[in-house]
Structure 1
Amino acid sequence: MSVPLETDLGKLAEDYVSLALHLHNHDPNPYIFIGDKAQQAVIKDDKRPLVELEGAFGQLREGLEAAVVSGSEGDAYRRALLADRADALLTRAALLQGRMPRTFEAEVEALYSVSPPELGEDHFRALAGELAEIIPGSGPLPERMSAFRDRFLVPPEHVERVVAATLDEARKRTRANMDLPEDEGITLLMNNFGAFGAFAEYLGKGRTNVHFSTTMLFHVDRAVELATHEAYPGHHIQATLLEAEMLDKRGWHEWEMLPLFGAHTIVAEGAANYGVGLSFTRTERIDYDRDVVLPMAGLMHLAPEIESYHRYVDYVERLNFARNEAARRFLYLGWSREGAVNWLVEFGLETRAIAEMRLNIIEAIRSYVITYNYGLDWVTEQIEGDETPDTALRWQRLRALFETPVMPVRAHWNMVPRRP
């Protein structure tokens, strides 16, 4: 007997949450869930086979296509976003069974609904040539860069103090530009959370555990980068405002569940990266690192070199698309682990230790790496377009991006209305 097709949008949203939790019985990657903990516990003890979950996701997708929405643009867009999510987790279920899309591009499209550019070796060689002029010494550039950067390594015994102070500063800057709930806040945990150097574990009701790795190298520039990306105005603030809008105001219960896979992550990671430069201009970041981070890290003797160091940081940020190319080659073109690490050293100009860490992340989360760099480009386009908006307007638009379900949705999904 065939099972009747569910077409009620609210019930389909509940089905999505349940299926996503079931999928994570098989997926070791972290996820955020702020829904019913009893439901989560029951599902953890009910390990449905992946092939069965694939069929259920397919039926969810069919139900969404057949669903009757109220006629409002909000409901129609909600349906499109849910269909996109169902497709992404259907793809993830196949990947967990060893069935990959035909190409890296197809995987990215299926999981994140975008098409990042493919960049060749000439692009990275040109940037490396420019960078070679500002890195002192002689010999191979990756080795010179490693020696230069590691002089700015924060000693492990100082990392927690540096991070805590920078989180406080990032919070002050965010609150000066956004009205936030009075009871929002974070708990800093110095531990290891999966393959990540840092991870924001949103707990609901404006509270987040921000995990920082105790094993990964922590350079001076990472203080501002990670404090803003993970917390203020990054993932912690995103999740706080998203919960207030999507769950408390709209009642869209699918937002109780935030897996790593789906178009929403383009916005999540891209906006978190956008918030770095919005919170600290380049000049302010240099000043902060010189006046606060270096003294706290016991590295004041490097103050005269901090501007040169940030020229290096600028280039490394432009080079991080090399991680996409390493993932493409390692996951789909048969490259060995050593070959991919060598690519990241030569064309991403990473140290070998950092390149190994990057590849560990690629092994764990695959094409997710594109959400950081291409995600930043996508979010920048949404906020700035062809304009040059002032700082206040950029903050306003960043908040709007958190509070409205604006994200890439596949062109082939034919029921996408104008964005609400």
Structure 2
Amino acid sequence: MPHFDTEQVEQGCAKFLPFEAQQQALNQFAERYIKLVLAVGQHDCYYVDAYYGPEEWQKETYWQPLADLQSQYLQGSELIEAMAVRLSEPELVERHQFLQTQWLSIGAYLALLQGKEYSFNEEAVALYDCHLTPYSLLEHQQVLADIEALLPGEGSLTNRYNQFKSQFIVPKDKAAEVFTASVDIARKLTSMHMHLPENESFEIEYVNDKVWTAYNWYKGDSHSLIQLNQDQPLGIERYLELASHEGYPGHHVFNVLQEQKLVKAKQWLEYAIYPLYSPISYLSEGSANYALSLIMSDDEVVDFERDVLMPLAGLEGDLALFHQILKLVKKLGYYENYVSQCLTDKLVDAEMAQKMLIDGALYPQSRAKQRVQFFERNRSYVINYSVGEDAVAAWVEAKAETTVEKWTRFESILSRPLNASDMLV
């Protein structure tokens, strides 16, 4: 059986391995990678977001001391680094780069579990391969001023915004019907541009007491469970966003394509596991946030909400003005990163972070509390939504002039994930 001889590399006699041996070396490392991710998951129940690889590997997983996992990580680091000089096939070089970047993030997360303190910016690099630029509070103040100029009413900007938004809140007893209609149109539009497996599907479950709004749990075999949190009432605009983000062509399609084109077609099993706090989340969340703008233009979103979703929810209101304001509110996502940074870097406490979200991101009190809980749990993960979306949009649109070209590039980046540093344009 072909094997990877690290000793030959250490002696300075490195030669390219035959193609089959290159594949075998990477396959063996993929097994090592999966087993270490599963083992880290024994220390953090949120770490393994999805797994549909060999069942026996999961059954063999057991709790091990962090020191033992650190030792396994260091051994693997030597292997993956030495392997680079033995690979010649471009596709396998890219595969190696992905594995190495993911592997490095495991080391960073193990360090966190062992008490290492990263700054927000350091963690963004270590876990998500993302170098952040400083946030401009002057730009933030300008966005708030632009929102204020559009909002009717009197009082604080936060109160005026939430009062205006209240007319677009979907009653809980209408949520399922509105979400189903949103999922149906998202799937229809996605299937016009992407070939989806006939057996792909997902089920929807309505839950409570979560720090997130919605979540996709990918189960394998082209099937997902999507949970929608009912703790906070959702505005009409969130339903198409969530249907496209969690479903089509967002997380569900992202996982379906990887399973179909990488895990099954190529037997690249490293894609059968998803460590949440790792570079792949940058692409996963960024592409999911970009998804709605790919399936619908701004005008088409307004038309569908006005003609279909608003009647289903029994709502009336000036949707055009609402979306004009929402476009500005979306820019506040970078301010949310700033708040999470201040909290992570211990510049503010949870109470002050909530106040910052209320005053600077226009959150109601209950939603601000929920969001701060998300920041406390996930720290720099929040950058994957805003910074990740802008990176995906820039990469997709850099060499795409038509809708067809955008879809082609979007599908290619989902089918062959890139790291943040690979998406710079």
Q: Find the counterpart in structure 2 of residue 336 from structure 1.
A: 349
Match of 1:243 among 245, 252, 259: 259
Call closer, same or farther: CA 1:70–1:41 in 2, change over 3 Å: same
Q: Find the counterpart in structure 2 of residue 228 from structure 1.
A: 244
SS in 1 for 2:152: coil
Q: Is the 8 A contact 1:190 1:213 kept in 2?
A: yes
Q: Find the counterpart in structure 1 of residue 390 from structure 2.
A: 377
Structure 1: give runs of 5+ residues left out of the alignment: 412-420
Q: Is the 8 A contact 2:210 2:231 kept in 1?
A: no
Match of 1:65 among 70, 74, 81: 81
Q: Is the 8 A contact 1:112 1:262 kept in 2?
A: yes
Residues 181-218 of structure 1 show CA distances to partners (whole Å, capped at 9, x for unaligned) of 12211111112485321111111121111111122321
Please state how far the C-alpha of 1:127 moved relative to its aligned partner. Answer: 0.2
Residues 124-175 of structure 1 show CA distances to partners (whole Å, capped at 9, x for unaligned) of 1100000001111111101111111122111111111111111011100101
In the aligned structure 2, how far is the partner of 1:389 from the partner of 1:116?
Answer: 28
SS in 1 for 2:331: helix
Please state how far the C-alpha of 1:296 moved relative to its aligned partner. Answer: 1.1
Q: Is the 8 A contact 2:400 2:406 kept in 1?
A: no
Q: Find the counterpart in structure 2 of residue 399 from structure 1.
A: 411
Say yes or no: does 1:10 pair with 2:27. Answer: yes
Equivalences for residues 130-209 of structure 1 within 5 A: 130-192=146-208, 194-209=210-225
Residues 318-345 of structure 1 show CA distances to partners (whole Å, capped at 9, x for unaligned) of 1111111011100114311111111112
In the aligned structure 2, how far is the partner of 1:292 from the partner of 1:21?
Answer: 44
Match of 1:311 among 324, 327, 340: 324
In the aligned structure 1, how far is the partner of 2:159 from the partner of 2:45?
Answer: 35
TM-score by length of 2: 0.90
- Give the count of matched residue pairs: 401
Say yes or no: does 1:96 pair with 2:113. Answer: yes
SS in 1 for 2:420: coil
Letter aligned with residue 89 of structure 1: I
Residues 213-250 of structure 1 show CA distances to partners (whole Å, capped at 9, x for unaligned) of 12232111011000000000001111111111111122
Q: Find the counterpart in structure 2 of residue 326 from structure 1.
A: 339
SS in 2 for 1:133: helix
SS in 2 for 1:212: strand
Task: Report which stretch shifted further, 69-78 or 329-338.
Answer: 69-78
Call closer, same or farther: CA 1:294–1:410 in 2, change over 3 Å: closer
SS in 2 for 1:31: strand
Say yes or no: does 1:367 pair with 2:384. Answer: no
Call closer, same or farther: CA 1:355–1:306 in 2, change over 3 Å: same
Higher relative contact order (Cα pairs below 8 Å, separated by 6+ residues): 1
SS in 2 for 1:329: helix
Please state how far the C-alpha of 1:409 moved relative to its aligned partner. Answer: 4.4
Say yes or no: does 1:264 pair with 2:259. Answer: no
Q: Find the counterpart in structure 1 of residue 22 from structure 2.
A: none
SS in 2 for 1:188: strand
Say yes or no: does 1:83 pair with 2:100. Answer: yes
